[in-house]
Every structure is written in C-alpha cells, then in structure tokens.
Amino acid sequence: MLSVDALHVTYGGAVQALRGVSLEIPDGKVVAVLGSNGAGKSTLLRTLSGTLRLHRGRIDSGSVRYGDIALGGRDAAQTVRMGLVQVPEGRRIFGRLTVEENLRAGGMGNRDKAAKARARDRVYEMFPVLKERAGQRGLLLSGGEQQMLAIGRALMASPKLLLLDEPSLGLAPRIIGQIGEVIAEINQQGTSVLLVEQNATMALGVADLAYVLDVGEVSLSGSAAELARTDEVQRLYLGHDSDEPAAAAIRRDTGKTLSRWTA
C-alpha cells in the first residue's frame, strides 16, 4: 500500500501547492484523483514519482510511504526500481524513436532479458496496433496511439503501481472509453493504478476509490461509486457536458471483454 499523510508541498519556498493531503492506494486497486487545473494533482504525482525537485518543489512536512519504505528524498530512478512508474501528462514519448525503441527505453532498468521479453509481449498483446507499427517513429502515430505507447513504455518496467497523469487529455470521446478499458485490464493483471484525471466520468467508471483535490486540499474521498452520487461531484464533474462515450467506460464487474486497440 502507498500512503500519503498530511503532505505539505511548496514551490520556491513560497507557493503552497499541497496543504495537508492524506490518501491511500491499497494494493490491487484503482484510485482516482479528481480536480480542476491548479488543484495540486500534478504536484501529488511529482512527489510520488520522485520528480518534485526537478520542478523546484519541496516537501515541507508530512510523509509518503510505499509499504514500509519512506519515499521522501528518493529520485525518479529509485522509485522506478521500487515499482512506481509514471506515465506523464502529454504522453512525452520519444518522437524520433520507433515504437520498438520507445518500448526498449522503458525496459532499460530491467536486466532480466526474459522479463523484458514478457513485458513487450504483454504490451503488444494489449495494443496490437503498436506491434503492427513497431518500426514506425512515434511522432507519426495518432494522439491515441501515442498515449497507448506511453502506457506501454511504462509497462515495460513491470510496475507494481502505475501513476497515470491525465491519460485522456486531448483525446476523442471514443478513445477515452478505450483508455478506461485499458486501465481496467492493467489492474486486472495485478497492477495497482493511481489515475489523475479531469474526466471524472471515465475515472469514476474505472476506479475503486476516489479523492477530490480542491486548491491543494482533499475536499472529498470515498468509494468511486459513492462520490459519483454526491451532489458536489455531479455538479462540478458530471454535468450535462460529459462525453457520452466516456460515460460507458468499463466497470470491471460487468464481465465486458476488452476491445483490443486496433486503430
């Protein structure tokens, strides 16, 4: 389990981004973090992934623990070796590298060749279009395909906890629904997921638990189903402007089979 307790984070010693945030990510669960721009979602992920200092941020107080291990002060490479792997906002693939080379880059920290081969097979099984385009440069993929490549690259590190930062950003409603299905399958295969999202419809459709961040503080928390029924979440995040295809994001208890990503 990953636990965050009373976390305070500032930038430049002046701008307070997180104010006493506490949350838990139990093993084997999908946890969604909702919030508008500036709520502190990206700061939370930077803290967990060990990249906070690269953005001139610092932990003023509070703690972050993964099992019995304190994560405060660890860098990104150390957190990846521990099994925490982030898919950044905006995909950030290596555009000049091929699909296959992007995947190899994701598995560089793993010296077990057999394990890397299994991870690559897993990625290609989940995203057949990536296998078809293994020799194609990343920048020539569509936005949705680039997001799948970013997720696949992270899976090459065999994460225990996958940190997803706005995976639906800039994607068409149909593709957002497929992203939700992919997240559910990754979780079913044994990987815990922290999903940071503005698209509450998709996030609450796939998550077990959810938190709402508001100006650096947790304003609501509970099961995803319970939060989806609250007046505040419905008013702020599940209004009439929600995308209908995203609203059909897979719930794992439906028995629905994942539609393989082919286009």
pLDDT digit string, tens, across residues 1-57 = 999 999 999 998 889 999 999 999 999 999 999 988 889 999 999 999 999 999 999
The pLDDT of residue 255: 41
194-242 pLDDT tens trace: 999 888 899 999 999 999 999 999 999 999 999 998 888 888 776 644 4
Q: Domain residues of the chain, as ranges?
A: 1-83+161-224+239-256, 86-158
Handedness of CA 59, 42, 139, 105 (dihedral sign): positive
Phi, psi of 248 (to 5 degrees): -90, 15
Alpha-helical regions (H) of the chain: 41-49, 76-82, 99-106, 113-126, 128-132, 143-155, 173-188, 200-206, 224-229, 231-236, 244-247
**DSSP helix/strand/coil, 131:** helix
1-83+161-224+239-256 in CATH: which number?
A: 3.40.50.300
**Sign of the four-CA dihedral 63, 69, 73, 74:** negative
The pLDDT score that the predictor gives to residue 239 is 60
Interatomic CA distance for residues 86 and 142, integer angstroms:
21
Q: What is the pTM of this model?
A: 0.86
